[in-house]
């Protein structure tokens, strides 16, 4: 079974928690903190495997989860890192974020490795927070959650040459003639239900890869027939061989077929329509073919420049076409066409920006404890919710142990130094208001 588009869910491992521990040896006075760091969570990575030609393995399993980092321990013992997992995909696979549509990676090289979901950082143990002025820190960090996301994998076959044309014009027969590929061949439309790849040997030292693209009919770019499933595979090719049936047995006009297929290519992608083409007039061994070729060949030469009458079944005329393909490939660049959209990379320093906005309506299903721990009366007449957004701030909160009073006080000091508290005060936050950072809520007490 050929599968070229799947959706999967990946979850990187959470980082391990940092330990809160102090040395307790008998003859070591004032031993000090010795809590170790938690291990890093495992990442989910994708690796391009040249031996794969389909995404069928992802059809039967959709969820993938990397290992969690182990917690730190006393005596400055660091937790082990979580196990990474590597998922193998065919060369030519595009990996996109299902929620945003952003292209995360484009696998164009064998063994290319890209991280789909990075593991969470391990939390620091209390030994990391000891200073000359704070010698007994009684808090550590929790591990950072690993990234979780839905991904869309889409395979675009990497071939040098794409065979295009209406159903039943002989594409599969030609690829069987040129290479060792053995596609299913029969005398009815839509015999080919999946693209076929074949390696064509020009001589002992030179070869190229050819793919037949099935199901191109009028309206293919909009979903008619099977063409909308396979037009993506033509995008990777450097050269197109446009096959036309000149036997006169199909009841179609090959000149009209030529125009229809090219219009479908242009409707799907303007860049694809500009790809260089050679034309193969197949079934030239049939009795009525000679008259069709005499009428059609001059017009096609004016359109594309190179026309080759052939019989894919008997092999007549195939060698000149083969050598013409090879000569044309030598003139074309080797690199794959650039992707339509920009690839998103996990690079650069973390984003330290943040913003605050009021949430005017209380969301259903949330209850907030508004009792004032300071002993002062909280204004509950018009309580408001303030939402603080920012990657660095949300990461600080999620890595803070909210059940550890010393850790919460540290978080408050950091938020104060970053200006978050001052900004809330300037915006009019009052005692009893709720401050939400990520999924955590606090009561604002000025």
The CATH number corresponding to 161-331 among 3.30.70.360, 3.40.50.300, 3.10.20.30, 3.30.1330.60 equals 3.40.50.300
Q: Where are the domains of the chain?
A: 1-155, 161-331, 355-443
The torsion angles phi and psi of 360, rounded to 5 degrees, stand at: -75, -25
Looking at domain 355-443, what is its CATH homologous superfamily? GTP-binding protein OBG, C-terminal domain (3.30.300.350)
For residue 28, give Cα distances in angstroms to 131, 135, 311, 345: 19, 15, 92, 49
- In the chain, DSSP finds a helix count (H) and a strand count (E) of 10, 18
Q: For 277-315, what is each residue's pLDDT tens digit?
A: 999 999 999 988 899 999 999 999 888 888 999 998 899
The gap from C-alpha 184 to its chain's centroid, in whole angstroms, comes to: 32
Domain boundaries 1-155, CATH class: mainly beta
DSSP conformation letters of 318-381: HHHHHHHHHHHHHHS-SSPPPPSSPBP---SSPP---EEEEE-SPPTT-------TTSSPP--S
Q: How far apart are CA 269 and CA 344, in angstroms?
A: 22
pLDDT score of 126: 93
Say how many C-beta atoms besides its own lie within 10 A of residue 378's C-beta.
Answer: 18
Is a pLDDT exceeding 90 seen at residue 155?
Answer: no
Say how many C-beta atoms besides its own lie within 10 A of residue 376's C-beta.
Answer: 11
Q: For 116-147, what is each residue's pLDDT tens digit?
A: 999 999 999 999 999 888 888 999 999 999 99
Is a pLDDT exceeding 50 seen at residue 6?
Answer: yes
Domain pair 1-155 / 161-331, same fold:
no
The torsion angles phi and psi of 297, rounded to 5 degrees, stand at: -55, -45
Note if the pTM is more than 0.75.
Answer: no
Q: Beta 161-164 vs 207-212: how paired, if at all?
A: parallel
The average pLDDT across 270-277 equals: 83
Top mean pLDDT of 30-39, 78-87, 332-341, 375-384 is at: 78-87
Residues 263 and 307: beta-carbon distance below 8 Å: no
Say how many C-beta atoms besides its own lie within 10 A of residue 408's C-beta.
Answer: 15
Residues 268 and 221: beta-carbon distance below 8 Å: yes
What is the pLDDT confidence band of residue 321, given thresholds at 50, 70 and 90? very high
Query: How would you class 292 by CB atoms within 10 Å of its CB: exposed for 0-12, middle for 13-18, buried for 19 or more?
Result: buried
Please, which residues have CB within 8 angstroms of residue 127's CB and are 6 or more apart in sequence? Answer: 21, 32, 33, 34, 35, 36, 76
Q: For 333-381, what is each residue's pLDDT tens digit?
A: 765 544 444 455 544 455 678 899 888 654 444 444 443 333 344 444 4
The structure tokens 């182990």 sit at: 70
Q: For 388-408, what is each residue's pLDDT tens digit?
A: 998 889 999 999 999 999 999
Beta bridge partners of 64: 10
Please, which residues have CB within 8 angstroms of residue 343's CB and are 6 or more apart in sequence? Answer: 103, 104, 105, 106
Query: 3-state SS of the chain: helix, strand, coil percent to 5?
Result: 25, 25, 55
Is 87 or 235 the better-scoring residue by pLDDT? Answer: 87
């Amino acid at each position: 079974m050929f599968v070229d588009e799947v959706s999967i869910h990946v979850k990187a491992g959470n980082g391990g928690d940092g330990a809160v521990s102090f040395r307790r040896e008998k003859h070591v006075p004032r031993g000090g903190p010795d809590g170790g760091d938690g291990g890093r969570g495992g990442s989910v990575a994708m690796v391009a495997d040249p031996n794969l030609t389909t995404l069928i393995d992802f059809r039967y399993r959709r969820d993938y989860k990397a290992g969690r980092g182990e917690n730190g321990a006393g005596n400055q013992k660091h937790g082990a890192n979580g196990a990474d997992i590597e998922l193998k995909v065919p060369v030519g696979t595009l990996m996109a974020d299902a929620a945003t549509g952003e292209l995360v990676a484009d696998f164009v090289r064998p063994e290319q490795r890209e991280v789909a979901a990075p593991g969470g950082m391990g939390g620091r143990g209390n030994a990391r927070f000891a200073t000359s002025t704070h010698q007994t820190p009684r808090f550590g960090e929790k591990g950072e959650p690993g990234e979780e996301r839905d991904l869309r994998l889409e395979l675009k076959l990497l071939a040098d040459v794409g065979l295009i044309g209406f159903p039943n014009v002989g594409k599969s027969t030609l690829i069987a003639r040129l290479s060792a590929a053995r596609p299913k061949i029969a005398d009815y439309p839509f015999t080919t239900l999946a693209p076929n790849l074949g390696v064509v040997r020009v001589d002992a030292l030179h070869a190229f890869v050819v793919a037949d693209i099935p199901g191109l009919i009028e309206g293919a770019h909009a979903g008619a027939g099977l063409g909308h499933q396979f037009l993506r595979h033509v995008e990777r090719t450097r050269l197109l061989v446009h096959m036309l049936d000149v036997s006169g047995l199909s009841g179609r006009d090959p000149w009209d077929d030529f125009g229809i297929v090219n219009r479908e290519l242009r409707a799907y992608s303007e860049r694809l329509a500009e790809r260089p083409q050679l034309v193969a007039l197949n079934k030239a061994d049939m009795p009525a073919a000679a008259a069709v070729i005499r009428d059609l060949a001059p017009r096609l030469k004016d359109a594309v420049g190179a026309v080759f009458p052939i019989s894919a079944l008997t092999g007549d005329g195939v060698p000149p076409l083969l050598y013409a393909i090879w000569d044309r490939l030598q003139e074309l660049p080797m690199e794959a066409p650039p992707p339509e959209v920009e690839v998103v990379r996990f690079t650069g320093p973390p984003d330290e920006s943040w913003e605050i906005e009021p949430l005017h309506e209380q969301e259903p299903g949330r209850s907030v404890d508004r009792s004032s721990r300071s002993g002062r009366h909280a204004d509950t007449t018009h309580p408001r919710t303030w939402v603080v957004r920012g990657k660095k701030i949300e990461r600080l909160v999620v890595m803070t142990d909210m059940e550890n009073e010393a850790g919460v006080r540290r978080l408050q000091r950091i938020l104060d130094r970053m200006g978050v508290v001052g900004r809330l005060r300037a915006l009019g936050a009052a005692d009893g208001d709720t401050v939400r950072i990520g999924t955590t809520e606090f009561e604002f007490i000025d």
